[in-house]
Amino acid sequence: MSDLSVQSAPPTPTGAAPADVQAPAEPARRRRKNPLLRALEALASLRLTVVLFALSLLLVFFGTLAQVDAGIWTVVNTYFRWWYVWIPFQPLLHFGQVFLGLPQSWRVGGAFPFPGGWTLGWLLLFNLLAAHAVRFRLSWKRAGVLILHFGLILMLVGEFITGVWAIEGHMVIEEGETSSTVVESRKVELAVITPGKTEDTVTAIPARMLKQGATLSNDELPFDVEVVQWMVNSRLAAPGPDQKNPATRGFGLERLAVEEPEVSGVATKQEVDVPSAYIKLTGKKDGLDLGTYLVSLHFNEQPIKVDGKNYELALRFKHYYKPYSLELLEFRFDRYAGTSTPKNFSSRVRLRDPEYGEDREVLIRMNEPLRHRGETFFQADWNKKTEKGTVLQVVRNPAWQLPYWSCAIVAFGMLAHFGLNLVNFLRRRAG
C-alpha cells in the first residue's frame, strides 16, 4: 500500500496507540542465528495474521453463498471442516443475479481452489501460539491481550472437541409412551435383535466394519456374518427375470439393491446415502449356509430363524439405549390467538432413572432444554399429523460449557485491554 512508501510524517504513535505487538520482537531479532527461531518468527508475523483473516473472510463469504445451492451440512463439511475446497463459480454468479440484476438464465461452470476451514484455523492457531511464544512478555499492558487470546484458544479447543466427540441423535416419543432409545441418524449399524421375554437383546455391528468380504463373528450369535457386497449408497429395484440376485432368502428375494454413487459435496439437493448390503449367514456349529440376505436402510427389521429361534435383522441408524427413560405426558403446540404463528412448543415428560433414583416431571420447551447425565434434550420437532408426539434432539457434548467460559474470558480480556487504552488516552488528553 502506498501508505507505507510515503512517509513525510514520522509514524509517531498517536494518543491511543495500542499495545503494539511489534515492539517486543526487537530483542528476538538480534539473536538471529537460530533458523528455528527465525521460522517461528515468520510464523508469528502479524502480516500472516492479517492475510489469514482476509482469507477467512472470503471463505466464510463463499461458504455462505454456497448454501444457496448446496445443503448446509455439505457446505460445512466441504468448506469449513476440510483442508481445502473447490469453490464453484456458480454461487458467485448467483450473487450477481440477486444484487446486480444479472440475467437469471446465466450459468457458469468451473471452480477454483481455496484453503479450507481446517487449514486456516490451524494456521491461525499456530500463528497465535508462535506470536505469544516469540513476544511473550508478562506486563499489565499486555495482560488483556493474553487473556483474550487464551479465551479464543479455549473456544477453538471446544469446537474441536465438539467436532470429534459430540454425538447428536433424536428421540421420538408419542404421548403416553416411554422411550429410552436415542437414534443417531448420521451413523449406520447392522443390528441382530434377539427377542426376549421382557427385553430384546441387540447385537450391533457398526457400518465401518461391514467391508466387502469381511466375516464377522460374535459369541452372542449362533451364526457368522459374511459381507458379500456393501453399498454405501443404493436404491431398490424390482428384480428382473434375467438378473442375478445374490439374495437367497428374506426381503432380498423381492427387491434388488442397485449401487448408486455416493452423495457428493456438490450435489444440489441435500441428500443422504442410503446404504445396503448382501450378507451371507453361516451357522456356527455346523457351518450350514443359512442363506444370503439383503439388508438395507430402506427396509424395516426382517425376521430370520436359526436353530428354531427367531431373530430380527436390520441395517438401521445407530441406536443408543439409555439406562433411563422418558415418558411423554403431554405435547403442546400453542399458537398466538387468532393466528397460526407458533407461540410455544413444549413436552411435559416424566424422567425415570433407577440408577440415580430419579423420578420427576420435566417441562422441555424452546430455549429450555433438559440436561441429564451429560446429555441434553431439546424440543426439536413434533408429530405433524397428530400433534401428540414429540421429537427431542439429544446431544452429548463434553465441551458444551467451553463457549460460555471462553466468551466470558475473551470479553474480560478485551474490556481490560481496550479499557486500559481508553483510560490512558483520556488521561493524556486531559493532561
Task: Based on the shown chain and the rule CB under 8 A, indicate whether residue 138 belongs to the binding site for other proteins.
Answer: no
φ, ψ (nearest 5 deg) of residue 400: -65, -25
147-186 residues in contact with other proteins (CB under 8 A) are 155, 158-159, 162, 168
The distance of closest approach from Cβ of residue 306 to other proteins in the complex, given in angstroms and rounded to an integer, is 41
Task: Based on the shown chain and the rule CB under 8 A, indicate whether residue 6 belongs to the binding site for other proteins.
Answer: yes
Task: Based on the shown chain and the rule CB under 8 A, indicate whether residue 288 belongs to the binding site for other proteins.
Answer: no
The distance of closest approach from Cβ of residue 276 to other proteins in the complex, given in angstroms and rounded to an integer, is 30
C-alpha cell at 190: 447392522
Residue 403 CA to residue 186 CA, distance in Å, equals: 24
What's the residue count for the chain? Answer: 431
DSSP collapsed to 3 states, 216-285 = ECCCCCCEEEEEEEEECCEEEECCCCCCCCCCCCHHHHCCEEEECCCCCCCCCCCCCCCCEEEEEEEECC
The distance of closest approach from Cβ of residue 241 to other proteins in the complex, given in angstroms and rounded to an integer, is 40
The residues, ordered by sequence, that sit 6+ positions from 314 with a Cβ below 8 Å of its Cβ are 190, 191, 193, 295, 299, 300, 301, 302
Q: Are the C-beta atoms of residues 352 and 358 closer than 8 Å to each other? A: yes
C-alpha cell at 240: 428382473
CB nearer to other proteins: pick between 144 and 250: 144
How many CA atoms lie within 13 Å of 303's alpha carbon, on the beta-carbon side?
Answer: 5
How many residues form the binding site for other proteins (CB under 8 A)? 86
Residue 78 per-residue DSSP state: I
Q: What is the dihedral of CA 105, 110, 116, 120, to 10 degrees?
A: -100
Q: What is the dihedral of CA 229, 233, 237, 239, to 10 degrees?
A: -10
By CB under 8 A, which span of 237-245, 321-329, 350-358, 422-430 interacts with other proteins? 422-430
54-83 residues in contact with other proteins (CB under 8 A) are 54, 56-57, 60-61, 63-65, 67-68, 72, 75-76, 80
207-226 residues in contact with other proteins (CB under 8 A) are none
Task: Based on the shown chain and the rule CB under 8 A, indicate whether residue 116 belongs to the binding site for other proteins.
Answer: no
Residue 352 CA to residue 325 CA, distance in Å, equals: 5
CB nearer to other proteins: pick between 198 and 341: 341
The distance of closest approach from Cβ of residue 346 to other proteins in the complex, given in angstroms and rounded to an integer, is 9
Residue 378 CA to residue 368 CA, distance in Å, equals: 7
Q: Which of 24, 28, 37, 49 binds other proteins (CB under 8 A)?
A: 49
The distance of closest approach from Cβ of residue 256 to other proteins in the complex, given in angstroms and rounded to an integer, is 34
- Please give the C-alpha separations between residue 418 and each of 105, 152, 313, 415, 423, in angstroms, as whole numbers: 50, 17, 63, 5, 9
CB nearer to other proteins: pick between 50 and 288: 50
374-393 residues in contact with other proteins (CB under 8 A) are 376, 378, 380, 393
Task: Based on the shown chain and the rule CB under 8 A, indicate whether residue 425 belongs to the binding site for other proteins.
Answer: yes
Q: Which residue has the cell 427431542?
A: 392
Task: Based on the shown chain and the rule CB under 8 A, indicate whether residue 45 belongs to the binding site for other proteins.
Answer: yes
Distance in Å from the first CA to the final CA of the chain: 35
By CB under 8 A, which span of 1-9, 253-261, 273-281, 283-291 interacts with other proteins? 1-9
By CB under 8 A, which span of 47-55, 189-197, 207-215, 383-391 interacts with other proteins? 47-55
CB nearer to other proteins: pick between 181 and 393: 393
Q: Which of 214, 237, 258, 411 binds other proteins (CB under 8 A)?
A: 411
332-361 residues in contact with other proteins (CB under 8 A) are 335-339, 341-345
Task: Based on the shown chain and the rule CB under 8 A, indicate whether residue 16 belongs to the binding site for other proteins.
Answer: yes
Give the dihedral sign, CA 251/252/256/260.
Answer: positive
By CB under 8 A, which span of 228-236, 252-260, 295-303, 416-424 interacts with other proteins? 416-424
The distance of closest approach from Cβ of residue 379 to other proteins in the complex, given in angstroms and rounded to an integer, is 8
